[in-house]
Structure formats: structure tokens, C-alpha cells
Amino acid sequence: MLSSRLSLPSRKLFVRELQCCRKASKDMPCQNTHLWSVTTLNKDVTFSVVWIQGTVIEISKTRDQHLMDDGTGIVRITGCDMIPQGCPRLAKGKYIMVIGELMENGPHPVVKATKIQDLSGKHVHETSWPLEVVDQQCNS
């Protein structure tokens, strides 16, 4: 039996794909975990944990939410105040990686963060990201 969200299927996705995801199942081994399905490259894939990357375009006054733009759409990142204190504070314009759980789909998707990492200053991450997403979609 699966005991953790992190042991469930994960996907590298673009925000535009989060917008058209659909709930795949209500019966999950982990309580309060959502299982989603999306069609990419004419294949249906299922996931619970999502990996996205993009630029911070807004930070809430309480710092618990960010808006991130990956070039295909904008996603609201929640739970940012739960990330460990040792992590660098994010600022508008930073290029970040977010691993978390998709909570809402549609035109304004919401991802609850498990991990946020600042990738600013490492241009290779930003330029290779679209290739990584497509590579995973082709090889799964």
C-alpha cells in the first residue's frame, strides 16, 4: 500500500496542460490526495504530483501564495509559507521549480507546493525545461 504522496505518479507538465486536466479517481491510498489525468501527445497519463517551472510574477502580501508564469499560462502556487525557513526567499522575476499537488484545474490552476527551488542564475534550467517536459511525454 502506498503511504506517501511522493510515492504516487508524478509528471513534468506545462501550465496549459494543468488547465485541461481531469480528475481520474476518488479512491486513493493516501488521504486527501488527488489523482489527475491529462492527454499529452495523444496519450492519457495519470499523476498526483506535478513538477512545473516558471517565473514568479506576483507574491501575496502574506507570502503564502505566488503566481507563476511558464509561458503557456499562469498558475497559483499555495502553501509557500510552509516551505522550510532555510530556503531563499523568492522575489518577483525569479525563475523557480515547484513540485506539488494539483488542487484545481481550469483556466486558473492551483498547485499546493511541497518543494520550491530558486533556479535563477542557472539559465540552462530555463532553456532546457520545455525539452524535459516533451521528453517525458514522448518516453512514457
pTM: 0.86
Res. 90 pLDDT band, cuts 50 70 90: confident
Confidence band (pLDDT; 50, 70, 90) for 2?
Answer: very low
SS3 (DSSP) at 2? coil
pLDDT in tens, 105-133: 999 999 999 999 999 987 888 888 888 88
Grid cell for residue 43: 496519450
What pLDDT, on the 0 to 100 scale, is given for residue 82?
82
